[in-house]
Amino acid sequence: MTTPRPTRRAVADDSPNHRKTSDILRSIRAPFVPPATDSVNQPGKRDSYSVTALADLADRSLHAGVAQWTGGLSPAALAQAYWDWITHLAYAPGKRMQLADKAARKAVRLVNYDLRSAMEESTAPCIEPLPQDQRFADEAWHAWPFNLIYQSFLLQQQWWHNATTGLRGITKRHEEMVEFMSRQLLDMVAPSNFPLTNPEILHRTLADGGVNLIRGWQNFLEDCEHAVGGKKLAGCEKFAVGRDVAVTPGQVVYRNRLIELIQYAPTTEEVRPEPILIVPAWIMKYYILDLSPHNSLVKYLTAQGFTVFMVSWKNPGPEDRDLGMEDYRTLGVTTALDVIAKIAPNRRVHAVGYCLGGTLLAIAAAALARDGDDRLATLTLFAAQTDFTDAGELMLFIDEGQIAFLEDMMWEQGFLDSRQMAGAFQMLRSNDLVWSRLVHDYLLGERRPMTDLMAWNADSTRMPYRMHSNYLRKLFLDNDLAEGRFVAGDKPVALMDLRLPIFAVGTERDHVAPWRSTYKINLQTETDVTYLLTSGGHNAGIVSEPGHPGRSFRVGVKKADQHYLDPERFLAQAQRRDGSWWPEWVGWLEQHSGSAAAVPPMGLSGSPPLANAPGEYVLMQ
């Protein structure tokens, strides 16, 4: 019997040249491509390893290149949503007939309004803007022909909302995506964005002789120069870190590859025995909680007799691409607690987490509770989600296709750049963050005065490839934390294990962590939960110092043995109070603290401070 000759493909696959190519490609491909299946070992059925690696490399590189032009949005995800909508609309003659009827009736309403307003100036508009829409609030919009222009736009906007919603058969997610993107396109072409259709711009141009447009052009060129040069927004130089903001006295008492731990100098002769550890989000610089002296939460806490520690996250680079959520938990939260235990031994800690930092802190607290570690006295969450079922319009950017697209973008550079993150957040509030700025800065030629909060917002950070992929998949996409599957320390954690008192803060106009989402902490635990809802948005609602005008809040308490109160009943029963919520929270901390005690030493015994606050990591660009 003769031995069968190997096929040409088998010879090629086993050749020395092929193995050399594979070794080269393996070094590129190994961290990113799943292991091959068993079919690889079946002669004649496996693909060339080099071809597979090259195909994966080509696909990822293409996606990364496209992502630079789309702001990280997946064209495939958008196309899928629009295809779902258009095909269902094509097979819905009744819906199309209804839309035609609505268009005809809106046209009649508009013509009728035009005729009546021509005869009587005080004619009521046929459609009112939404309460949050301030684009047409100026009186000049009520004069002809601008009243007709903005009324026709609002009617068209309403028609498109009807066209993209209420269609039987389309998935809820695709419906929301189509409605959201259609709204973005309409906002782009709103009459308020163009000089000839915006009476405010026309009046200003006539009054200034066109100088406003020259100033606007200068503002535009200045912003372009800053963007191309990677500089911060104009005016940010007035709020230098360590000189104007982040100036509360303190020292960096510990540093590793991921965090600096800052201990702040006491301002009282005695302090509460329980130190406060603040874990901010790594998507932001920590000093949002230590802005100017008048609105610094850190300064406020030290003045109330608390020892305060703050985690300052490193701004990651390509070398940090493989840092994951578990690294952030162990190198961040757990290590900070270990250091505090050495500085202030035998003292339990009030743990505070903000935004993503709050989510991470909740995971760490659940892991400590699971393992019988009782170092935490209380847990406070600022605008932090622990259940991502109703995470707002941000979820429109989270599905398998979108995450894979983002992963390819991060894979190439090793991190998610701050500008790429900013694009998604700006889309959520495009009227406030994009188009109103275009009108105000470039067409009216005015600059809004820079504030410390605006300067901080322009000082954003990057996120490592692996960590952000973990976060998007395990929390946003799969909701593992809420459903008991999130693994910390090789074992799942459950928020039901928490038995310490919890104080949770939500903000009424939060577009990042909607307050009804943060309210779900009441469903996930069997402990005492104090929930406070404050006015303002995700950031301004938290930076709510005493004396800040227009601030208000409402608060409710659910004891461990009480029944659940849904968000709507909470709104109805919790009375609104005027003023800052900070004193309310400090009063709650004092209720769960011991009597005043001696001030703990600054830093670790025998180890000199590494630097004065604000440290080095916060200055990394």
CA angle 64-65-66, nearest 5°?
A: 95
How far is Cα 135 from Cα 148, in angstroms, rounded to an integer?
Answer: 15
**CB-based contacts of 369, cutoff 8 Å, min separation 6:** 497, 498, 499, 500
CA nearest to 512, candidates 351, 393, 359: 393
Can 126 be counted among the known catalytic residues? no
* Cβ–Cβ under 8 Å, residues 367 and 497: no
How far is Cα 103 from Cα 386, in angstroms, rounded to an integer?
Answer: 43
CA atoms within 13 A on the CB side of 542: 27
Q: Which of 126, 224, 236, 355 is catalytic?
A: 355
CA nearest to 467, candidates 414, 394, 536: 414
| β partners of residue 36 | none
**Structure tokens belonging to residue 412:** 């190439």
**Structure tokens belonging to residue 256:** 């590793």
* Cβ–Cβ under 8 Å, residues 450 and 233: yes
- One DSSP character per residue, 380-432 reads EEES--S--TT-GGGGGG-SHHHHHHHHHHHHHHSEE-HHHHHHHHHHHTHII
* Enclosing H/E stretch for 377: strand 376-382
Strands 491-492 and 502-507, sheet pairing? unpaired
CA atoms within 13 A on the CB side of 344: 26
Q: Which residues are catalytic?
A: 355
